[in-house]
Chain A
């Protein structure tokens, strides 16, 4: 079963605009991670935020975490065509002690 649910499912923007993706989850977590996947390839880790952190930055990425609302957001600023990919959140709330991934947000950045 899915723990994280990303919203929106798909997002299309122009180069230079900002892209915001949201993730909601169901159970308590110790950390939440964001990954990127280019079409048909493996996932690449972007950022990890711990449950006691509220915001984290990495280059053009900004992640926020609200544990009271069980939600996180990923902001990509000044997007580029190369940011076109699917973005997944993953939490450590799996019943088998595993990471659980959402179904992802498909981002398309048009040049």
Chain B
């Protein structure tokens, strides 16, 4: 399996622009997670889905952030409008079960820079 695939790997955009990050989970996995990594706060869970349905979005920082999972093999995280403080590495992860007996599988991340 190719693992979790994220695109783009790097994104540089200007403040106020819309940003869309994409994720393809591992085939057969029924949980998908979006995380944000910053120096100050480490890895923070933004939202997670089970069978394409959002379960917990309490980590989404503001209404500017939205996430969708239209099917089992694709998810997007959108920021509109983007702000410099959104600059971070965004990770997507998937797992076969919510019971993290062997952990989640992470993608390589998208490094977002908002100028």
The answer on A and B forming one complex is: no
